[in-house]
Amino acid sequence: VYLLFQALRQISQRTISTASRRQLENRVPENQKLFQEDNGLPVHLKGGAKDSLLYRTTAGLTVFGTVYALYFLLVASLPKKPN
């Protein structure tokens, strides 16, 4: 049991120490320029086509969900027809 614990500890230390060596590119200045640019677009659409698609999908699902909920509220409010 002790050997298993010691092996697991070594594996976890290796994983943590190798992950800290990777350098990620700092893209914050690029994004700041993009989002602070005055091009007449709202902030939630400045990311391009991906942002536009996400916005339209979210808006569509919201409208669909609202209509769906109102329809079932209407159905639930009507009396049942006797057979």
Summarised one tens digit per residue, pLDDT across range 62-74 is 999 999 999 999 9
| Range with top average pLDDT, 14-23, 47-56, 61-70 | 61-70
The answer for residues whose C-beta is within 8 angstroms of residue 37's C-beta and 6 or more apart is 46
pTM confidence score: 0.57
Instruction: Name all contacts of 69-77 with Cβ < 8 Å and 24+ positions apart.
Output: none
- What values do phi and psi take at 7, rounded to 5? -65, -45
User: Span 32-82: which CATH code?
Assistant: 4.10.91.10
Residue ranges covered by each domain of the chain: 32-82
d(CA 3, CA 83): 73
